[in-house]
Amino acid sequence: MSAINTFLLQNNLRIATNPCVSPDFCLDWPALRSAIQTAQPIHAWPHSRFETAAGQWVLLEDAATGDCAWRLDARTGAAPVNTLADGVALADGAAIFPATFANLLRLKNLIQAHNPQSTIFPSATEQLGRSTLGIGARFTTLHWPAVEWAMAQLGIGVTANQNSIPRELVYDTDVMLAGKLDTVPFPFIGTNVPEGHQGQSVEGMSHGCVLSKLKTGFHTRGIAWSFNADHQPIGGKFDSREDALVTGCVLASYITFDLSPELAQTKVADDAAAWCAAHVPAALIATVKARVAQAGLTLNETDFAKLLAYVWPSLQKMKVRDGKYAAARAQAFTTEVGRAYLRELSIDELPGLTTPETTAIMLALCEALGMKIHFVAPAFGFQKNMPYPDNAALRTLIEKQWAVCANFGASIGFHSGSGKSAENYQVMGAVTGGRLEIKTSGRYTYEMGRGLFASKNSADQALWRDWYRFTLELALLGAYSTDATEQKMARVFIVDALAKSGHGTDVFASPAATRTALEALTPSPEHMFWFEYNFLHVLAADGRAEKAALGDHTPAGYRQRARFYTISDEGRLNFAKNIAAYIVFLARNTGLASAATCTAAETRLAGYTNLTAMLNDIAKA
């Protein structure tokens, strides 16, 4: 048994209440196998049926533990037990297999060889490479059904699974168990938090998002969707583990390349032009210059040399990494459709607002290196969760970028895309003609808070109160920190919450005065300090508001995570409705779906009074 499955079983951390930690969706196959063999009650998901050459498949689940299995019925005779690994025959002629990650990879080949149009797995269709919404999946199994509902009702596929790896997801559970995950600096908290601060592993997420499509029957709609391995770090300190990153992301159909780790350690030579002449092939430089000129831009030679000298080391590493993503897919998958993936180039991490020249040079370089870029993400000066204040200025900025992107056949990726105004999204959609991606992630943690806050269930209310208290305590700690950035940010969050609630903001005479002021506030998910610190509560050891407790990958962290996965049906419904409503809002304002379609979806959504009714509208009727 794998180390992670042993760890989870020993600590009674089961998939039902702690999903997507293990790459496998079956922790205890001997127990599940014998339960199926002895006809104990095991749920067969009715919408999950699909076919391969070997016969008919259905997904089985032990509702108590969350352990899953595949049942195969051959068209005639007994089903072959060697179709996947660890199979056993049932008395009725069917074969059953554990839902391990290894079996999932094999099943993908069987499914796509039998039906290349199948939408059970994420894919890289032309449409998904032109126009999509990036939906960060912070709460995994609680989250996906809402995204599936929105895609089904709107009739469009989106990036239905997305998270940054290794920042938000555990890239390797063995490294996690060894306590050797790296840390990520969070200057606004004045500390470093272990990577993978949401607790799930990349393989576990990859597995869970596919099973979710089968459970809800989303796959019966035939709508292709994608899975984005977001902000894959290139170079710098990530060189030593790039093979592990590649292996973990093998099911992602869409890779975002983030060059910033390598750029952070690149020193541009004093004579950049001489450096380029010595290090970059002359033919490639000529090709890039000609391509940029063809796009209608005039290059300043000095600026060009400086930029090229700055980005060339990272682009070479990107090329190597890209080859590894392709090779991993070629090795694991047997079909063209199964091997294809989309690419995004993230350049919003480069200093300052991105100029059209920079975008053109980067796209021309990728083109010359044989890497087709589907999305490019320039910096527009967006602040996370803040509307862009000037729509006319935003239009001008996007128009300049769009002129370049259109020439290269790339769409624009809008990073830090959550929380913009309807008018901002309208401008993004109108200027690009819908050839865009809006990346949203943190928004959905907020929607969980709103969902719990509005729930009448007492356990949901207790979780909400603890969550709110956790952020209040972190804000108080931060407001008196000796770390200047941490103190400044905490006070900004506190002042914002007080001011928006009509309270006085002169509250920093003493910690006691600040506490009194904060405790006089009516708890609300609209308070900025709750919004900014909330994601850290998910894996805080026993929910403690202490820096040392954050991002805790021991049983204390996972027990805390389980609280979110045991919320009531009312809490789940609220959360699902909030997510779906936000996706419809984005689709309406960017123009990815028609106003009439969006209105119909909103009306239907508003009418649900229980989660089952909502889930029943996902599969094709």
Measured from the CB atom, the residue of 338 and 413 that comes closer to Zn ion is 413
Residue with tokens 């108080």: 476
In angstroms, the CA 499 to CA 272 distance is 50
DSSP letter assigned to residue 170: B
Please state the closest distance from residue 47 (CB atom) to Zn ion, in A. 36
Cα angle 575, 579, 583 (rounded to 5 degrees) comes to 170
Binding mask 556-585 for Zn ion (x = CB under 5 A): ------------------------------
Please state the closest distance from residue 224 (CB atom) to Zn ion, in A. 24
Which pair of tokens denotes residue 466?
């603890």
Measured from the CB atom, the residue of 180 and 237 that comes closer to Zn ion is 237
Q: What are phi and psi of 230, to 5 degrees?
A: -85, 145
* Chain residues 515-544 in contact with Zn ion, contact rule CB under 5 A: none
Mapping DSSP to helix (H, G, I), strand (E, B) and coil, where does residue 21 land? coil
For residue 166, say if its preceding peptide bond is cis, omega within 30 degrees of 0.
Answer: yes
Out of 71, 321, 415, 435, name the contact with Zn ion by CB under 5 A.
415
Which residue, judged by CB position, is nearest to Zn ion in the bound state?
346
Q: Are 315 and 388 in contact (CB under 8 A)?
A: no
Please state the closest distance from residue 270 (CB atom) to Zn ion, in A. 29
Which pair of tokens denotes residue 290?
């000609």
Please state the closest distance from residue 348 (CB atom) to Zn ion, in A. 4
Q: Could you tell me which stretch among 397-405, 408-416, 442-450, 596-604 binds Zn ion (CB under 5 A)?
A: 408-416
Please state the closest distance from residue 382 (CB atom) to Zn ion, in A. 10
> Is the four-CA dihedral 313, 316, 317, 318 of positive or negative sign?
positive
Q: Could you tell me which stretch among 82-90, 220-228, 414-422, 448-456 binds Zn ion (CB under 5 A)?
A: 414-422
Please state the closest distance from residue 344 (CB atom) to Zn ion, in A. 8
Among 14, 232, 205, 252, which residue's Cα sits nearest to residue 101? Answer: 205
> Is the four-CA dihedral 109, 111, 112, 114 of positive or negative sign?
positive
Measured from the CB atom, the residue of 143 and 415 that comes closer to Zn ion is 415
Measured from the CB atom, the residue of 226 and 471 that comes closer to Zn ion is 226
348 binds Zn ion (CB under 5 A): yes
346 binds Zn ion (CB under 5 A): yes
Among 411, 431, 440, 399, which residue's Cα sits nearest to residue 127? Answer: 411
* Chain residues 362-401 in contact with Zn ion, contact rule CB under 5 A: 377
Please state the closest distance from residue 263 (CB atom) to Zn ion, in A. 12
Measured from the CB atom, the residue of 348 and 552 that comes closer to Zn ion is 348
Residue type, 494: I
Measured from the CB atom, the residue of 365 and 490 that comes closer to Zn ion is 365
- Residues in binding contact with Zn ion, number by CB under 5 A: 4
Provide the β-strand partners of residue 345: 257, 376
Please state the closest distance from residue 163 (CB atom) to Zn ion, in A. 13
HEC letters along 408-425 = HCCEEEECCCCCCCHHHH
Footprint on this chain of Zn ion (rule: CB under 5 A): 346, 348, 377, 415
